Amino acid sequence: MAKRSVKVYPRFERFWHWTQMALIFVLLFTGLAITGLHGGLDFGPAVIGHIIAALALIVLWVFAIFWHLTTGTWKHYVPTRDGLGRVVRFYVWGIFRGEHHPYRKAYWRKHNPLQSIAYLLLKVVLFPAIWITGLIALGWNLWETVPGATAWAQVVTNIHLLAAFAIAAFVIAHVYLLTVGHSFREHVRPMITGFDTIDLTAEEEAYLEADEPGRIKPRASS
């Protein structure tokens, strides 16, 4: 195996990541204002901002889903138990003892086993839960006359809030983990430049150098 600097985060993935992050922060800020947990924004503007950001995020997700399916990037999110125990132990114990992360990124799998599970749950459980309940709440005028609508509205609201707080917890954990191990800059740089240092087999290295030279940086001259 050879360690090479490879573009593992294409331009659209970086655009999708940072745009999604910005929209989620807008949604959290406006959502907390709507629930009255802070007074940094009046109720009316908070609702309008929340709806606009939510619809923009749904459009972004539609494009992201299409991109993941057509490029095969979805394979990076397939859960695996291979090495999961070592990664869990590292985050529970080893990270506080200065141990090195047991997982090394590979050309065909850039997420460690725990990341794959977390991202998969985020994408197939929390995100669908929050946008489905959000759309149902947005269409309240269409079903307000349904028997028991008020009770169902409370259920929808509670699910929406629970999903929102779960996503907020994920964001906090995500940012925290960026501050441990390597420096914050080293963790964030790949999602800005697209390039990260990963292990390549001789075959993968030869393929990239011959067929996709723009995705692999030349070896540093000795």
Task: Dump pLDDT digits (tens) for 167-188.
Answer: 999 999 888 887 776 666 777 8
- For every residue of 35-104, DSSP letters joined together read TTS--SS-HHHHHHHHHHHHHHHHHHHHHHHHHHHHHTGGGGG----TTHHHHHHHHHTGGGGTPPPS--
Whichever domain contains 149, its CATH number is 1.20.950.20
Structure tokens at 175: 């940012």
Residue 40 located in a structural domain: yes
Residues in the chain, pLDDT under 50 = none
Spatial neighbors of 51 by CB under 8 A, at least 6 apart, are 138
Q: What is the pLDDT of residue 54?
A: 95
Q: What's the structural domain count of the chain?
A: 1
**212/214 Cα distance (integer angstroms):** 5
Range of the domain at 73: 2-215
Tell whether 222 is covered by a domain: no
CA distance 196 to 7: 6
pLDDT value for 181: 62
Query: Which of 154, 198, 147 is CA-nearest to residue 7?
Result: 198
CA 107 to chain centroid: 19
Instruction: Render pLDDT for 185-222 as a digit per residue (tens, 0 to 9).
Output: 777 898 999 998 888 888 888 988 898 888 898 886 55
The confidence score (pLDDT) of residue 182 equals: 63
In terms of residues, how long is the chain? 222
